[in-house]
Amino acid sequence: MSFLFHEVRVPLNSVSLGVHVLAEERNLSVTQLETLEMMKEATTFMGSTLNDVLSIQKMEEGKQELHCEPFMIYDLIHSVLLSLHGNIKAKGAVVEVSVQDLMPQVIGDRFKLEHVLANLLSNAVKFLPEGKKVKITANTS
């Protein structure tokens, strides 16, 4: 099964690279720029979807590995917010973050937790009713 994903990922990476190269052109119309932006988002989404399917496959096969290491939960939340800043701004959403002052360092798989939080926050922003806020809270209780 992973061979199949490799066969999809290689051309997807080529398309993504081509879109980035084209986006650097100076004489593009607004329509062309908008189309390239949509293509960028589509290739990013497709790559993320492939990663999700591979993760599910690994879990089903019992091959999912956790890489436990200490990290600060605030740093993880901050990283996710930075990565989704464009989506949050484009939607006009408000995201409130509340992290307990003395939040200790946690031990876990930062990459996987970051991925889960990014998916949750992305969906929350995408489906957020107008005038509502998304709130992220982290505490030890």
Which of 84, 13, 83 has the alpha carbon at shortest distance from 47? 13
Residues 77 and 51 in one domain: no
Share of the chain above pLDDT 90, in %: 33
77-88 pLDDT, tens per residue? 999 998 888 889
Q: How many domains is the chain built from?
A: 2
Residues 83 and 38 in one domain: no
Residues 73 and 125 in one domain: yes
Task: Note down the domain range covering 94.
Answer: 69-138
104-140 pLDDT, tens per residue? 889 999 988 988 999 899 999 999 998 899 999 998 8
Is 2 a residue whose pLDDT tops 70?
no
Reported as type and span, the H/E element at residue 106 is strand 106-108
Residues 26 and 79 in one domain: no
Residues 122 and 103 in one domain: yes
pTM (predicted TM-score): 0.63
Tell me what pLDDT residue 124 has: 94
Amino acid residing at 113: L
Residues 26 and 78 in one domain: no
21-55 pLDDT, tens per residue? 888 888 999 999 888 888 888 888 788 788 778 77
Residues 132 and 73 in one domain: yes
Is 99 a residue whose pLDDT tops 80?
yes
Quickly count: other Cβ atoms within 10 Å of residue 74's Cβ: 13
Residues 94 and 133 in one domain: yes
Residues 88 and 119 in one domain: yes
Tell me what pLDDT residue 76 has: 92
Is 59 a residue whose pLDDT tops 90?
no
Domain endpoint, select from 13, 35, 60: 60
